[in-house]
Amino acid sequence: MFQLVLSTCPNKDVAHNIAQHLVTEKLAACVNIIPEVTSVYIWQAELQCDDEVQLLIKTDSAKFKRLNARINELHPYDVVEVIALNIQQGDTHYLNWITESLK
């Protein structure tokens, strides 16, 4: 099953580093880097409002465990956002490209 994995990074440098590793190591077919997202959350009992960079990672569910571990290895946060959403439908050509890219 194909997945879209979401993860946030503190800045573009971290995001680019993670994206490049995931793609070259064939853990992801493609990673979109979306700058300037604002995250509002509670951390250590205090309200936080941080500018972050969003990663949209296209992969296969069979790769998730290794992808998750690799993101955590490369990421500076203590608690890293890694959320996988199953892709229910998609363009056949694009989904075939994901499969080929992960080989």
Q: Identify the three-state secondary structure at position 32.
A: strand
Helix (H) or strand (E) holding 6: strand 2-9
Q: What is the pLDDT of residues 50-92, one digit of tens each?
A: 999 999 999 999 999 999 999 999 999 999 999 999 999 999 9
Show the domain range for 64: 2-101
Mean pLDDT of the chain: 97
Cβ 29 vs Cβ 101: under 8 Å:
yes
Read off the pTM: 0.95
What is the structure's pLDDT at 32? 98
Give how many domains the chain has, as a whole number.
Answer: 1
What is the structure's pLDDT at 39? 97
The mean per-residue pLDDT over the stretch 25-31 comes to 98
Cα 103 to Cα 98: distance, rounded to the nearest angstrom = 9
> In CATH, what number is assigned to the domain containing residue 17?
3.30.70.120
DSSP secondary structure string for all residues of 53-85? EEEEEEEEGGGHHHHHHHHHHH---SS---EEE
36 confidence band (pLDDT: 50, 70, 90): very high
